[in-house]
Structure 1
């Protein structure tokens, strides 16, 4: 089977290379905003949506225009990818997966892409990569790049340049091994497994929230746009990047351990975006319990529930296991012993006590057991699931794979 995998490294460019990369990122941002403005103007005039191939003709005109001669200095393929990013943003909007596209601003998600593998050369032994109009770029070689290089993406984050190298390689069909497990995510415990074990959340932002607040106050006292303001802003960005890196490292280690030791993983199909929405309400309809909901939202986003599920899903697929997302309704209110469903079964956040049979246990553990039971039921019925082999499995094949 073929596997696509990205390898990300910190770049160590020269001063001239760093200057060019900022210029290329600015050119791609300009082209993206130009394409977005063209779409909005065309829509206001009563025209139809302009496809990415038609936008390509406009890109040629922009590169040859006397008003923007500096666009010709940027790699053409990188500019083409910027127009395709704008097209993809509109497609996501039409499919109701995202909001209406917004104009990009300098300093937010600066970067560019090299989609043509024939223009990329990799010297993994010496930690170098060659890309158009930049030549050989040194990067911090922390691990070997496996497979054939397909594309490369360069990005700027908190003052550091990164390169993400996408590769494709043939791997043997993995065979899942280990038991099935259900996972219940929560605030006190990041993940409670159906076997009784649990993972305590790192809460990286909560541990360090005083530090960014301190330097954000210092930045607020400086003149916006001044040199000292820019230095303070860079420091705040480095602190937030450190917090995010700690969170990602923790989630990768946790998801890697779980996916490696279990053949089937069942989780709740939580809509994290809706769960973490503000409760402030509008001016004419004020919300209630705003402060408590704000604290809950901060904890959910700090722990990275969505990212944890995303990592579990693709790592389980890599190892040939089965990933199931089950409906979350009443998972922590259903008694695993007698099946009684009632809100009275969970009078407190931590304790589950069935009002019918008297079964008592930790509420998160009960939820994980019910999640596992629902996941196994979906597999037994042959429902569509996320797996490393296909989107739909026969019941006998699934049972045999888990037993192996």
Structure 2
């Protein structure tokens, strides 16, 4: 699998370097031209790409990924493509030359690679292609297949969700999901492993072992955050017909130095909305995105009065009707009323 990932990385980097060189001469390349030239003139020179047990479709998918990266850049949905580095986001895609790949159980027969055991059981289905990626020293299989889903019975018609740093999410129904602060809890171990890795001699086996330990720790913290977000978003989409969330300016909020670590370490605002969008289709609910400038925290949920609310004030005390309520709950109620409006 490391050889497959290396071939995919080499192909992607060669395509990016050639793309940049052609563009500097005023030409407009595309993935089809690069793919044809690579297969006819470059690939025959490197015999290690054609070794036994290597899937020949890896290079085609590498050029497809390069073309998608430039498409996102030209449509202003992403940055300019960068060269891939060994050991960072290693992945490759393979298929069975157009034939369906059977999947099921705790083992799978990968094209040209052979039988591979899996830690978890796979669904019994077929797929057209499989993407294999590495995180730390673990390999993961990703595949796409069709599923039929029935809408779940909803307990609440509308719910407003206010995201924050102190509490992860506050619902207009009164439910509160506290912030587990996985990053802060594991920060001391992260520092210790980082110092251990930095003190090892470059190129030594001990440095590689320390690198794997550090990568495993990063992966564990990331998985804890993802698990928390999955639990909340699944609960929301299963039990609520319409969900209202804010369109937060995360990149702008990171300039607030006192909150930057809490926002970035929680890693939840963008991922929270992304999970809601695809789970809404799965469980049959509607997602409503409130305008970024909607004053949900400044508006009184009782009389509609608008007043300034500094970040340090955690209780909303209305200056008009004397209504007092938790700041996050007040904002969540205001968001829920957008759906009714």
Normalising by structure 2, we get a TM-score of 0.92
Does residue 1:60 correspond to 2:39, yes or no? yes
Does residue 133 of structure 2 align to residue 155 of structure 1? Answer: yes
Q: CA-to-partner distance for each residue in 1:247-285, whole Å, 9 max, x for gaps?
A: 111211121112111111110011323322xx4xxxxxx
1:157-199 C-alpha deviation (Å, 9 max, x unpaired): 1101111122113x25536623210100000110000011110
SS of the counterpart of 1:65? Answer: helix
- Structure 1 residues 347 and 266, CA gap change in structure 2 (3 angstroms): closer
Per-residue deviation at 1:117? 7.8
The CA distance in 2 between the partners of 1:342 and 1:310, in whole Å, is 31
Q: Which residue of 2 aligns with 1:301?
A: 264
What is the CA RMSD across the aligned residues, in angstroms?
A: 2.0
Q: Deviations over 1:44-91 (max 9, x none)?
A: 11111x22222220231355332x221223322221111111111111
Q: Assess if the C-alpha contact under 8 Å between 2:174 and 2:329 holds in 1.
A: yes
Please name the residue that 1:164 is paired with: 142
Shift in CA distance, 95/265, structure 1 to aligned 2, threshold 3 Å:
same
Q: Which has the higher contact order (CA 8 A, sep 6+)?
A: 1
**The residue matched to 1:230 in structure 2 has which SS?**
helix
Q: What is the CA-CA distance between 1:147 and the residue it aligns to?
A: 4.5
How many positions carry a matched residue from both structures?
336
Tell me: CA distance 1:47–1:370, structure 2 relative to 1, closer, same or farther (3 Å). same
Cα distance change on mapping 1:347 and 1:172 into 2, 3 Å: closer
1:283 equivalent in structure 2? none
Structure 2 counterparts to residues 83-232 of structure 1, below 5 A: 83-115=63-95, 118-119=98-99, 121-125=101-105, 127-142=106-121, 144-145=122-123, 147-169=125-147, 171=148, 173-174=150-151, 177-179=154-156, 180-232=158-210
Q: 1:146 offset after TM fit, Å?
A: 5.3
Give the secondary-structure state (helix, strand or coil) at the position aligned to 1:335: coil
Name the TM-score, length of structure 1 as normaliser.
0.78
In the other structure, the counterpart of 2:336 is 372
CA change 1:349–1:84 in 2 (3 A) is: farther
Structure 2: runs of 5 or more not aligned: none
